[in-house]
Amino acid sequence: MKKPLLSIVIFLLLVFQKPLFGQDPQYSQFYAAPLYLNPALAGTGVTGGPRIIMNYRNQWPAITGTFESYAVSYDQFVPMISGGAGLLVTTDQAGDGNLRSTEVSGIYSYQYNINRKSSLIAGLEFTYAFKTIDFFRLTMPDQIDPQRGVTRFTQERFPKGSVSYPDFSSGLLYFQKLYYLGFTVHHLNEPGQSLLKGASNLPRKWSLQGGGSLPINKKMSLAPAILWRHQEIFDQFDLGMYLLYEPIMLGIYWRNQDALILLLGIKKDNITIGYSYDLTTSDLRLAGASSHELSFSIEFPPRIPLRKYRRLSCPSFGK
């Protein structure tokens, strides 16, 4: 009976006649999803050449109606536009009704070199989003027989179950050789995302990022990172670091009132692979809730030398 009950709850939330608010998917390895974190990070890889990044997150797989998120991005530094260009595709699936969100984003960043050791980057992101739900995969109250369970066909009339909308975001990034500071505003236009009649605007998400790369010796370095996010009434704070002892990466992060995150990864030349496990510290731990995440990135050398453009690479992102 767990799945029918969960389906009923989801349906009641969808048809409840008050404004609804949604929040964005999150990645524990936020430093391994730079374009998703801040559009100003487009083109900030080590070489400035093409960079491909893939991220996957399975949140709380032990609980019925799990959340799965995917992200694929491509970016590189483009001398003729004095900055970076990127493409980001994300998809998120939740619940038994296959509530799915897909977003396709084009990103441009402009890099201004303050001096030979520091840069300031401004990024803009245009997104077109699609949201769908399959109502027929949900169990309605009129399908449930008190004695025999789900035995009937529903008489409910469902709407089309899809919506699409444009979305805009922007970001700033300041960095030197050893550290960076960033600021991002997602959903500047607070787009409507309702699958039914009524208001359901996606609230703005504000975030601050900081971190760096601190060399210990030729093969060893520390990469601390911090992230604060605010969306509607929700605040989230991530803090931690990873140790790179080539080619091994080991890390630990903490997310306030939510999870302790353990990281294991490999970095060899231009390829980085990471796996993280969220050890839940909230009340969800009683249900055996945990999360798994994978990241993969590969960076290629640029086709033309970029030395004369005085381009700087951001620490920890790609290092």
For residue 37, pLDDT over 60 is answered with yes
138 in a structural domain: yes
Nearest to 272 by CA among 53, 58, 37, 44: 53
Mean pLDDT of 272-291: 79
Least reliable range by pLDDT among 10-14, 152-156, 194-198, 284-288: 10-14
User: What pLDDT is attached to residue 60?
Assistant: 72
100 in a structural domain: yes
Distance from C-alpha of 272 to C-alpha of 267, rounded to nearest angstrom: 4
Distance from C-alpha of 318 to C-alpha of 221, rounded to nearest angstrom: 13
Q: What is the pLDDT of residues 184-200, one digit of tens each?
A: 999 999 998 877 666 67
Strand locations in the chain (E) = 51-59, 67-78, 83-94, 99-113, 119-132, 144-145, 149-150, 162-175, 179-186, 205-212, 214-215, 220-231, 234-245, 248-255, 259-268, 271-280, 290-299
Higher-scoring residue by pLDDT: 152, 223: 223
74 in a structural domain: yes
Confidence of residue 174 (pLDDT cuts 50, 70, 90): very high
Mean pLDDT of 282-293: 70
Least reliable range by pLDDT among 3-7, 21-25, 118-122: 3-7
118 in a structural domain: yes
Nearest to 162 by CA among 195, 193, 122: 195
Q: What is the pLDDT of residues 221-254, one digit of tens each?
A: 999 999 999 998 889 999 999 999 989 999 999 9
Output the CA–CA distances (angstroms, integers) from residue 60 to 117, 146, 286, 294, 301, in the order listed: 43, 30, 12, 15, 38
In terms of residue numbers, what domain contains 129? 2-14+33-309
149 in a structural domain: yes
76 in a structural domain: yes
28 in a structural domain: no
User: What pLDDT is attached to residue 285?
Assistant: 56
Domain count, the chain: 1
What CATH number is given to the structural domain containing 84? Answer: 2.40.160.40
User: What pLDDT is attached to residue 140?
Assistant: 57
Least reliable range by pLDDT among 53-67, 222-236, 238-252, 298-312: 298-312
Mean pLDDT of 147-159: 56
Backbone dihedral angles phi then psi of residue 34, each to the nearest 5 degrees: -60, -40
161 in a structural domain: yes
